[in-house]
Amino acid sequence: MAKMIYQQKRVVIGAFSVGLLGLLAGCGGKPPLRTMACVDAPPLEIATSADGTTQSAQFSVLTYNLEGLPWPARGGRKPYLQEIGARLAAMNAQGNAPDIVLFQEMFSASAKKAVAASGYGAIAPGPRRVSSPEDGPERKLSGKSKPLKGEIGLRVLGSGLSIASRYPIIERDREAFGRKACAGFDCLANKGVMMARVYFPGVPLPVDFYNSHMNARGASKVPEKRNLEAHQRQVEMASAFIADTSDDDIALIFGGDFNMRHSESRWEGFSQYHPLNLVHGYCISEPDRCDVAMSWDGDEPWMDTQDLQFFSDGQKMDIRPIRVEAMFDGGPSGPRLSDHDGFKVTYEIQWPVNLSEQSNVAYMVNSYCKK
């Protein structure tokens, strides 16, 4: 009886602590949302091939986990987050900021303010705390739920996701993973996947950008079997979301914190549902076409990081990475301001020179830009 009473007290205390964290998180306000008209887009350099048959352009994408967890999960993060926002804003003012940033862990008020202060003209948020999946799994995870490990059936935080862009975001969507696709303390945040369709001036078609933050392993504090099953469900849901929201004609990029470091089983499950090109793999196999300006160890450097980017051609335009580098890693780009380094990839997109003359292509861009 005494043991039962003790366990009940632990549940009550745990629930109270989570509730307090929810109140604190709620004080952070809404995540930033900012729109930009197509006519206000900054110029983009367009190059034409020597034979006059194709055109191309370049842009950069930064994947960055802010470490924006609120107190009591993290303390003392405010000055670092402020510096992240200030450094990105200064880079934007100078015209050398990453064109697109995929943020994760934008949870606390300071993290949201950092993204808002980063100087980007367009910002789209991911799933909110109360967002629900449209079509998630129907059955619960196998095994018993772990209320003392965060599986209490409610969310105290949103997804922490955001996409910031120097160019107009002309379409956006998002999907929460939901209560039956999370494990452990990750269930306290409403993790999910989001999309932003970005218009680049002079490019006949937009480009789709996807961002996600998937279930942790050890940090979830539940057994490997349980957090692996949650991760696999999130992988499947993200795959379905991309299939439903992407356009086959458009090139796409999928980045984020995938929590697959040192896990063969997670990689196997992910690869089954996401037949996309891995930036790390491409740059290793095509060293003459992709400049690696960062330190990579071993034959499979993607196994040593949580922060990844994938890409895929569209039927009417090609895309490839041409340079990879770290940001905010203590090097020339700035001090280390998070428990993650930023992972920046510069891409080149290419399309036939007469693509803009096709009526369906012109209609797509014009219809979005008139919204």
Nearest CA-CA partner of 200 in 76, 368, 77, 335: 368
Residue 9 has pLDDT above 60, yes or no: no
Give 359's pLDDT tier (boundaries 50, 70, 90).
low
List pLDDT tens digits, range 112-147.
Answer: 999 999 999 999 999 998 777 777 666 778 877 788
**pLDDT exceeding 70 applies to what percent of the chain?**
89
Residue spans of the domains in the chain: they are 2-369
Q: State the CATH architecture for 2-369.
A: 4-Layer Sandwich (3.60)
**Residue scoring higher pLDDT (299 or 166):** 166
H or E segment to which residue 211 belongs: strand 207-213
Render 286-321 in DSSP notation, one character per residue.
-TTTSEEES---SS-GGGG-SEEEEEE--SS-EEEE
Question: What confidence score (pLDDT) does residue 3 get?
Answer: 45
Q: How do strand 252-257 and strand 207-213 relate by DSSP bridges?
A: parallel
Q: How confident is the model at residue 337 (pLDDT cuts 50, 70, 90)?
A: very high
Q: Closest Cα partner for 103 from 144, 133, 73, 61?
A: 61
Cβ-in-10-Å burial (0-12, 13-18, 19+) of 355 comes to middle
Given a contact cutoff of 8 angstroms between Cβ atoms, the answer to whether 249 and 356 are in contact is: no
Q: What is the pLDDT of residues 302-323, one digit of tens each?
A: 999 999 999 999 999 999 999 9
